[in-house]
Structures are given as structure tokens and as C-alpha cells.
């Protein structure tokens, strides 16, 4: 009998299986997956003040999280992190950078960074939970 187990934290073995299977399936379909996670960390005097994480795969870069400590916001740290990702992946064969954000988060910030809204998934109950899908092409 098959058992299904909830895992709150994934270990290295699980990440290896995910990576291997993603790549195997892509290869079967004539696609290069090249799935890689990334993180860039902004520091001031060795203190972490901002983090951007994501993944690159196929022909796109996906930003998962952008966090700037509250006391460091509005000091262009988020912009610097976004610019760093863009510069790192520019001219490496990727077509776009994409991300999602909710209505209460950073929609206007991402627009200022040059992202365009592709799609909005509206919340049935709370417009602050409308989910925005954004893209910026290289």
C-alpha cells in the first residue's frame, strides 16, 4: 500500500529527485531544462538586509521571493537586487524574468522595474489577494 507523507522541510535527496526527474522529462521532449535555484543577498556590514530568490529553467528566470528588511525599505535595495538578477541572466539565452505578487504587496514597485502585468487572478473575497502575474522580456 502506498503511503503519502507531509514534509515541511525538504532534504537534499528530495531536491536531487526533483532535479533529475525535471531534466529527464524535459530531455525526453527535446527541451533543455537546466533548472537551477539562485539567491542574491544584500548586506550592510555583514548584516543581511535583503534577499532575492528564484529559479532559472528552460528559457526563463522566475523570481520566487524578494524581501527587504522593513527598516531598509525605500533605499533602493529591492531595485538593486532586481537589477542584479537581470544583469546576471542577461545575454545567457533566457527570454524573460517573471514573478507573481499579490495586490497588497509590491505591484507598483515591479511596474517601476519594467515588469508588465500579463494576467490577474482575482480573489473572490478580498482584492488585496488578487494575484498578479508579471513579466519582463530581455
Tell me the pLDDT tens digit for each residue of 53-107. 999 999 999 999 999 999 999 999 999 999 999 999 999 999 999 999 999 999 9
This prediction has a pTM of 0.87
What residue ranges do the domains of the chain occupy? Answer: 12-99
The confidence score (pLDDT) of residue 15 equals 87
pLDDT at 34 over 90: no
Residue that has been written with the C-alpha cell 528559457 in this structure? 59
Could you report the per-residue pLDDT of 45-61, keeping only the tens digit for each? 999 999 999 999 999 99
In the 8-state DSSP scheme, what is residue 12? H
Residue 93: other Cβ atoms inside 10 A: 10
- Are 99 and 57 in contact by the 8 Å Cβ rule? The answer is no
Class of domain 12-99: alpha beta
pLDDT at 35 over 90: no
CA 82 – CA 51 distance, rounded (Å): 10
The confidence score (pLDDT) of residue 122 equals 98
- Are 136 and 96 in contact by the 8 Å Cβ rule? The answer is yes
Could you report the per-residue pLDDT of 110-135, keeping only the tens digit for each? 999 999 999 999 999 999 999 999 99
Could you report the per-residue pLDDT of 12-30, keeping only the tens digit for each? 999 899 888 988 999 999 9
How high is the mean pLDDT of the chain?
96
Amino acid at each position: 500500500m502506498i503511503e503519502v507523507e507531509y514534509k515541511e522541510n525538504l532534504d537534499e535527496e528530495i531536491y536531487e529527485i526533483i532535479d533529475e526527474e525535471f531534466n529527464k522529462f524535459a530531455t525526453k521532449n527535446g527541451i533543455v531544462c537546466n533548472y537551477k535555484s539562485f539567491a542574491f543577498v544584500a548586506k550592510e556590514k555583514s548584516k543581511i538586509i535583503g534577499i532575492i530568490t528564484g529559479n532559472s529553467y528552460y528559457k526563463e528566470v522566475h523570481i520566487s521571493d524578494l524581501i527587504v528588511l522593513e527598516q531598509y525599505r525605500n533605499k533602493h535595495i529591492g531595485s538593486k537586487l532586481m537589477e542584479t538578477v537581470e544583469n546576471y541572466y542577461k545575454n545567457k539565452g533566457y527570454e524573460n524574468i517573471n514573478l507573481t505578487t499579490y495586490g497588497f504587496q509590491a505591484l507598483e514597485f515591479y511596474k517601476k522595474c519594467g515588469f508588465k502585468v500579463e494576467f490577474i487572478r482575482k480573489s473572490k473575497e478580498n482584492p488585496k489577494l488578487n494575484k498578479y502575474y508579471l513579466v519582463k522580456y530581455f
